[in-house]
A and B are shown apart, each in its own frame.
Chain A
Amino acid sequence: IYCMFTTKSSICCTKAEVKGGQGADYMRTDIISTVEFNHTGELLATGDKGGRVVIFQREPESQTEPFSQGEYNVYSTFQSHEPEFDYLKSLEIEEKINKIRWLPQQNAAHFLLSTNDKTIKLWKVSERDKRPEGYNLKDEEGRIKDISTVTSLQVPVLKPMDLMVEVTPRRVFANAHTYHINSISVNSDYETYMSADDLRINLWHLDITDRSFNIVDIKPANMEDLTEVITAAEFHPHHCNLFVYSSSKGTLRLCDMREAALCDKHSKLFEEPEDPSARSFFSEIISSVSDVKFSHSGRYLLTRDYLTAKVWDLNMESKPLETYQVHDYLRSKLCSLYENDCIFDKFECAWNGSDSVIMTGAYNNFFRMFDRNTKRDVTLEASRESSKPRAVLKPRRVCAAGGKRRKDDISVDSLDFTKKILHTAWHPNENIIAIAATNNLYIFQDKLNSEMH
């Protein structure tokens, strides 16, 4: 009925792949900062803090080698962004890739948008599997021939060659953001896309790099009056006039571009009423929405704040439809999490293809999945030990300090807060998930229940 859950409390994972260096020493530049499947799930792109993009391609299933079927192997890798220095502000511009978004495929080539804090780039990924041979003026190595040796003319012929994947930058969309870009989203019209920074959202045409339209501006006239920033933004999957953006105060705003050129006034405001008696110093910080995603159906919104994941119905602004506790045991650790800045960690969230299960990451390389229909949830760990092929991914459990402890439970105090799973992605149609655990990429496939229900 649903993916990755069996009738027992374990999950059967028949294929697990781990990419990246082993061992505890890794460079800052190796830390994965974004993960994204393309629209068919055939390609999986990762971006890292060093500004590099690696694209994996799924091997087609073959009859002869059933166990290598469906593996993701490296397809291409390139340097997307370089570190820059803003001379005017004496500030470093990080090369870290904040987001990658694929364009829907329209011809043989694949296109993706990648962005760092300031600049968005459109990349074309194309294959070359033929090359011309038999030039008249050049020899096989490309050296110019001595013209006196040429006695006859030949027509160059296209011959097959080893597959080469070429990546070329096609557009550079620069200088439109004063603040740091946190999101990009391709519109369903396949012509435009938006980029959002802390205070503004811009609308671009994919072919035009020297102009963009500002569609949201929440910068106050006086910066002293600043109370909230934009944390994430996304276009509706089907309605090209609708988009949503989330804020650091825990609100979501749905905007309709048909209403006005500047969408400062929202069409709908989604906000859960706060319980005033429960308010604390941390309330606003932990209510900040770190990620927002439309469901594939376009009917629901999934948001992630520090401790919970929430599903909202577009037709109900007053409160979320469902609230899932991701790691409520952290509530008694908020003081130290504030001191070590972990309270500001931005976790992403994901829907499965049928919108029946949601997934998000946590600490200690744990990630969580919630089945919206059965209300069952599970905690799994991305680790090399538990990722052998055909291994059963054992559910993990965290117990509160001093609480009843079972054999394999982990105590809240033993959690490793440096091992955070911030970025996860779910294949658009199948039960395949990609989990970024610091410098390693885990790809889990559920072969038993490979189709989504």
Chain B
Amino acid sequence: MLLSSLTLICGSAEFKSFSMEDHPLPPTYSEVQEKTISPEKAEEAKLKARYPNLGNKPGGSDLLRKRLQKGQKYFDSGDYNMAKAKIKNKQLPTAAPEKTEITGDHIPTPQDLPQRKPSLVASKLAG
């Protein structure tokens, strides 16, 4: 009770000394608590030094929103199909001659585009 009201006022260094007796830290930290700061806090300091603009809400909405938006976004479907055509050409350098016109430089029409079938090859797990 008293402890919790104290924690509200104190800075992080003082907070540590109040908490040690009544809130024993897990074994991982017990050896280092007096001499050095925990490895996790040291890593945090390193990160903040490298990226000073990093916000203070690590698990907050920025991170989550980035996670929710997984999946590469394209400007439109034409952009998507051109990107796929480019990848296909990179993976199959000896593509059939009739398809050599279809490169990233040439704006494709729906008839020109090869159907993307990335897994024509069977899985290597299947022997």
Please list the residues of chain A having a beta carbon within 8 angstroms of any beta carbon in chain B: 19-21, 26, 29-30, 32, 46, 48, 50-52, 54, 74, 77, 79, 82-83, 85, 87, 89-95, 117, 179-180, 198-199, 223-229, 248-249, 275-278, 280-285, 288, 325, 328, 331-335, 338-339, 344, 439, 441
B83 closest partner in A (C-beta) = A92
Number of A-B contacts (CB under 8 A): 153
Q: Find B126's partner among A74, A93, A226 (CB 8 Å cutoff).
A: A74
Return the CB mask of B93-111 against A: 1 if under 8 Å, else 0: 0000000000000000000
For the complex of A and B, list the 7 residue pairs with the smallest distance between their C-beta atoms, beginning with the closest. Answer: A284-B59, A332-B39, A334-B43, A21-B124, A77-B126, A335-B43, A335-B46
Complex: A325 Cα to B28 Cα, angstroms:
10
Q: Which residues of A contact B61 (CB under 8 A)?
A: 223-227
Return the CB mask of B72-85 against A: 1 if under 8 Å, else 0: 11111101100000
Interface contact A30-B124, CB-CB below 8 Å: yes
Q: Which residues of A contact B119 (CB under 8 A)?
A: 29, 50-52, 79, 82, 95
Interface contact A91-B41, CB-CB below 8 Å: no
Complex: A40 Cα to B118 Cα, angstroms:
33
A-B contact list, 22 entries, CB within 8 Å: A20-B125, A30-B123, A48-B123, A50-B118, A74-B125, A74-B127, A85-B77, A85-B80, A90-B74, A227-B59, A227-B61, A229-B68, A248-B59, A275-B25, A278-B29, A278-B40, A280-B40, A333-B43, A334-B44, A335-B43, A335-B46, A441-B125
Interface contact A229-B77, CB-CB below 8 Å: no
Complex: A48 Cα to B119 Cα, angstroms:
11
Interface of A is mostly: mixed
Interface of B is mostly: helix
Complex: A231 Cα to B7 Cα, angstroms:
32
Interface contact A92-B71, CB-CB below 8 Å: yes
Please list the residues of chain B having a beta carbon within 8 angstroms of any beta carbon in chain A: 7, 15-16, 19, 23, 25-26, 28-29, 38-44, 46-48, 50, 54, 56, 58-61, 63-65, 67-68, 70-77, 79-80, 116, 118-119, 122-127
Most buried by A among B59, B60, B68, B75: B59
Interface contact A87-B123, CB-CB below 8 Å: no
With A117-B71, A333-B43 already in contact, the answer to whether A277 and B15 are too (CB < 8 A) is yes
With A52-B119, A281-B58 already in contact, the answer to whether A227 and B74 are too (CB < 8 A) is no
Interface contact B25-A32, CB-CB below 8 Å: no
Q: Which residues of B contact A199 (CB under 8 A)?
A: 68
Most buried by B among A198, A224, A276, A281: A281
Q: Whole-angstrom distance from the CB of B57 to the nearest CB of chain A? A: 9
B47 closest partner in A (C-beta) = A335
Interface contact A280-B41, CB-CB below 8 Å: yes
Interface contact B68-A90, CB-CB below 8 Å: no
Interface contact B43-A331, CB-CB below 8 Å: yes
With A92-B74, A248-B59 already in contact, the answer to whether A275 and B43 are too (CB < 8 A) is no
Interface contact B64-A331, CB-CB below 8 Å: no
Interface contact A338-B65, CB-CB below 8 Å: no
Q: Which residues of B contact A332 (CB under 8 A)?
A: 39, 42-43
Interface contact A280-B44, CB-CB below 8 Å: yes
Q: Which residues of B contact A48 (CB under 8 A)?
A: 123, 125
Complex: A92 Cα to B79 Cα, angstroms:
11
Interface contact B71-A54, CB-CB below 8 Å: no
Q: Whole-angstrom distance from the CB of B52 to the nearest CB of chain A? A: 13
With A275-B26, A334-B40, A338-B47 already in contact, the answer to whether A20 and B124 are too (CB < 8 A) is yes
With A90-B74, A92-B74, A285-B58 already in contact, the answer to whether A50 and B47 are too (CB < 8 A) is no
Q: Whole-angstrom distance from the CB of A75 to the nearest CB of chain B? A: 10
Complex: A26 Cα to B118 Cα, angstroms:
14
Q: Whole-angstrom distance from the CB of B50 to the nearest CB of chain A? A: 8
Interface contact A249-B59, CB-CB below 8 Å: yes
Complex: A83 Cα to B117 Cα, angstroms:
9
Interface contact A198-B116, CB-CB below 8 Å: no
Q: Find B43's partner among A26, A278, A282 (CB 8 Å cutoff).
A: A282
Interface contact B80-A93, CB-CB below 8 Å: no
Q: Which residues of B contact A20 (CB under 8 A)?
A: 124-125
Q: Whole-angstrom distance from the CB of B117 to the nearest CB of chain A? A: 8
Interface contact B58-A229, CB-CB below 8 Å: no
B124 closest partner in A (C-beta) = A21
Q: Whole-angstrom distance from the CB of A417 to the nearest CB of chain B? A: 15
Interface contact A52-B73, CB-CB below 8 Å: no
B38 closest partner in A (C-beta) = A278
Complex: A338 Cα to B127 Cα, angstroms:
37
Interface contact B40-A282, CB-CB below 8 Å: yes
Q: Which residues of B contact A54 (CB under 8 A)?
A: 123, 125-126
Q: Whole-angstrom distance from the CB of A145 to the nearest CB of chain B? A: 35
